[in-house]
Structure 1
Amino acid sequence: MAVHWLQTGLAKRDLQDMEGALDALERAVAFSPTNPTAAFAYAQVRFETGREAVTAFERARALDPANPHLIRTYAAALAAEGDAARAQSILLDTLTQHPQWLDGHKGLATLRVAIGQRDSFDESYRRAIAALPGSLSLRLAHLHLLQTAQAWEEARTHLAQAHQALGPSRGLEVARVSIESESGGPLSRDPHLFDALKDWADPGLDLCRVRHALRLRNPEAALARAKPYVSTPQARLFWPYLSLCWRLLGDPAAPWLDGAATDYVRAIDLGLSAVELSQLADDLRALHTAQAPYLEQSVKGGTQTDRQLFFRPIPSIQQVRTKIQSAVAQYLASLPPPREGHPLLAPARDKPILFEGSWSVLLRAGGFHRVHTHPMGWISSALHIEMPDRAAAGPAPAGFLSYGEGPPELELGLGPTHQIAPKAGTLVLFPSTHWHRTVPIEAGERLSLAFDIRQPT
């Protein structure tokens, strides 16, 4: 019986029926309280739905004390419930015993950034490297973290130390060219920067090559490097760059991919009343507990909630989730007929609507989203809940959603293809491959809700 309820709970979790999953997993634990898999799954779903989960994780950890995935999520639950000090202590103790636990290092660094301890966010990597100076994987993981944080000088310093300790290696050469290409240093426009790696094909390296070619004003070379990936699992990383290449070259494939201004970007009024919007705003603000956004996020001058927002059993959030699912179905039904090979139009549209992620963003004066795309999604969104009035936000287009501008660091000179003025209660849907950003607001606060729809398979 315990196996039945465990399998049922995991299946419901996969379908994002989180309340059904929690009920089934609670039954699994009741039938088999010493089953470590059931105990971990139950704790995990409690955490994912925003419930108190520390007690459940402690029971699960007693059954499986060496499980690294359990330890990392347990630490996240502790931090979420206000005990960041203990979360750090548990991660540090585990990392002392297992200094090459890369996920643990990343989890600790992410936690420290979120609680405002940016100055020491990579401390565990430094300690581990001091203990294991010959570990290439540790050094590469540390360098990747520093690049994500755009800590370029620290990255160069640690790269030089890695070279001194380990000698030359292909991994360190990849790190070097990535740092030099992306940091804006003197080699960022060197056409020969990647020559030593010309015989090595790798998706991450090729993405860096694409960006470097665009930075060198060579969209033909960028296109040749990106196009082979459209039929691979990495396609969604490269589609946005194909758009830039085709636009720069005046290729008719650009409108085929992106459509005209309103073909794929739609604004839908969800019909939320002022009372409903006010309650939703209060509930979302209560979830903004982080001191700073995570390193990978596009948020600047604000915060983003953690975990799947739509998994939380908060009435206002579940109400808007239902309205959103209906709006997404409406959006899908209004799209043009399927087109072979198109990242938005090719996937099947008759599958259940599942969320790849859902979150809320609170931007303060001067806050904005930098130019980005959503490579994990199929359809992306913005639902504005509260906006400062026009006088506080600043003259138009302050606060607007802006589409089509390429990453500013590439200096491509591409302006926006279109912009949308935000309106409380209006949901904007668009392809996840679209480049987009928000124009900074001058004063006040901007509260929004967003999500990605998972591509059907």
Structure 2
Amino acid sequence: MSLQKDLVKTALEYRKKGDNETAISLLKQHLASQPNDHVAKHNLAAALGDIGEHLDAVKVLKSAINKGLNKAPSWLVYARSLAQINKYERAVQAYKKVLSSHPTDADAQRELAQLIWMSQGDYEKALSGLTQAISKHPSALNLKILRAELAGQMENHEDRYKWLKLCYEASDKQASIQFYMSKAALAIGKYDEALHLAEVAAQAFPTDINCGIHTVNCYLAKSFPEKAVPLIERMLTTHPTNQHLIALLSTCWRLLGDARYEEYYDYDRFVKQLPLGVPKGWENLDSYIQDLESGLEEAHRYKEHPFFLSVRHGSQIPSITGSINPAMRAFTEACKEPLQTYLSGLCSGTSPLLFRNTGSAKLFSSWSVKLHKTGHHVNHVHQEGWLSSACHIRHAQTSNNKGDKSGWLKLGEPGSVCAPKLKAERYIQPQRGMIVFFPSYMWHGTVPFTEDTNRLTVAADFQPI
């Protein structure tokens, strides 16, 4: 028995390190001799979910639930995996099972609201469960803040501001609420209020990177890049590879006319569009792209965008390489040839892209986005990346108008509000089966399109090895 306990303990240690594959192997070994260990099944399902094996996670937990497992954390893991395999009704019921015993669980409330929003695109329905919980638990300030933040994610920024104003007053103007209140004020153009609240919050939480980044955004909105630079440089001493900080520093340099901006945002050197490779099992790129397109189309089942990401009016699959679809699983291999071509073309240098370049890299994460009519990505960066990419599978057709860039990838336009406003500096026309590489700190988004079609892409981040 002690040997079995050691297996579980070791598996959990691997989980903490992020090595879910080893943890899964150990937990399966344990369950082979202890098939009724529901706690081990919970941990196995959670690990499977973390690597995208949601179908297997559902099978593991369904078996345990049928045999009496009835803990809220397990129902939450179950709900997440059900949502990922497009079992909408079952996922909703699983989330409600969690909330029946833990109605103030912010994670479950957020994920259920997101699931309803992605499936139906209905603002009121998405917030209905959260609104009911708030009415029954009026002192649950975390739920009120969550409701406000989700309103913003569904692009109702006035409602977000109104709710946070109420939270702010009810909390006796706590510094933690000031941070959220400041973000809401910034989103509706109340820049003076936003900056005041941000500076107060930053003094209360001097080491909080999110608070610091938001304060920088307020400085840029007020056209104070010279005040933002020392704050960014201080944060970079403790977060030297944070791509968001690098992007903000570059933006300040651009506003201040600092020549270092050109070194970091060298589009000719750092942005390349290359053909995707052909994985084993396919004769040519066209046949692979056709299969990849079919797999992605089947996987994209939701109508609206997930929360706290860059997508607007479209759906996102959080991970494709863990899919059971062969073409989606093969994307890692398809990236290898163009990735190596890109890396071979880089030289040495001091920019954040070049000084970390070892000549080789591995895929860190990959996901797919399907944008509908008027859909787009807001300008953003990939905070934990190093090298990012966008592979175009299907795209909107531009008109004969020479200036029409509908659906194109745009680079260089900041996601933060800037005064003066900075425009995109480079546009890339999507080409089917081509992958565009660029530094993860480079601001990027897409131009909205009005054509009655959709835009299908696979995005990926890479880390040097």
Structure 1 residues 41-440: aligned runs within 5 Å: 41-44=43-46, 46-47=48-49, 48-51=52-55, 53-61=57-65, 65-66=70-71, 68=73, 70-116=74-120, 117-163=122-168, 165-185=170-190, 187=191, 192=196, 194=198, 196-197=200-201, 199-200=203-204, 201=206, 202-233=208-239, 235-258=242-265, 260-272=266-278, 273-305=285-317, 307-337=318-348, 339=350, 342-347=351-356, 349=358, 353-355=362-364, 357-391=365-399, 396-407=404-415, 409-410=417-418, 412-440=420-448
- Residues 212-268 of structure 1: per-residue CA shift (max 9 Å, x gap): 11111111112222221112238333211111100111112212333x212222222
- Residues 35-75 of structure 1: per-residue CA shift (max 9 Å, x gap): 3454234334554235354231123455763352x322211
Structure 1 residues 275 and 143, CA, compared in 2 at 3 Å: closer, same or farther?
same
Q: Identity of aligned pairs, percent?
A: 24
30, 33, 47: which is aligned to 1:31?
A: 33
Q: Distance in 2 between matches of 1:33 and 1:190?
A: 55
Shift, 1:287, TM fit? 0.5
Q: Distance in 2 between matches of 1:266 and 1:223?
A: 29
- Residues 160-200 of structure 1: per-residue CA shift (max 9 Å, x gap): 43355443322222322222122224x55776454644633
Tell me the secondary structure at the aligned position of residue 312 of structure 2: strand
Q: Distance in 1 between matches of 2:361 and 2:442?
A: 23
Contact 2:199-2:215 within 8 A present in 1 as well: no
Where does residue 281 of structure 2 map in the other structure? none
Shift, 1:5, TM fit? 9.1
Q: Distance in 2 between matches of 1:284 and 1:103?
A: 27
Q: Distance in 2 between matches of 1:32 and 1:226?
A: 52
Structure 1 residues 213 and 160, CA, compared in 2 at 3 Å: closer, same or farther?
closer
Structure 1 residues 162 and 329, CA, compared in 2 at 3 Å: closer, same or farther?
same
TM norm structure 1? 0.85
Shift, 1:282, TM fit? 0.8
Shift, 1:402, TM fit? 1.2
Tell me the secondary structure at the aligned position of residue 330 of structure 2: helix
Q: Distance in 2 between matches of 1:109 and 1:362?
A: 20
Q: Distance in 2 between matches of 1:204 and 1:15?
A: 23
Unaligned runs of 5+ in 1: none
Q: Distance in 2 between matches of 1:296 and 1:14?
A: 25
Structure 1 residues 194 and 399, CA, compared in 2 at 3 Å: closer, same or farther?
closer
TM norm structure 2? 0.84
Contact 1:380-1:452 within 8 A present in 2 as well: yes
Contact 1:72-1:107 within 8 A present in 2 as well: no
Tell me the secondary structure at the aligned position of residue 137 of structure 1: helix
- Residues 125-150 of structure 1: per-residue CA shift (max 9 Å, x gap): 33333333333433333333334444
Contact 1:114-1:294 within 8 A present in 2 as well: yes
Unaligned runs of 5+ in 2: 279-284
Query: In angstroms, what is the RMSD of aligned CA positions?
Result: 3.3
Structure 1 residues 81 and 419, CA, compared in 2 at 3 Å: closer, same or farther?
closer
Shift, 1:372, TM fit? 1.2
Contact 1:189-1:212 within 8 A present in 2 as well: no
Contact 2:315-2:371 within 8 A present in 1 as well: yes
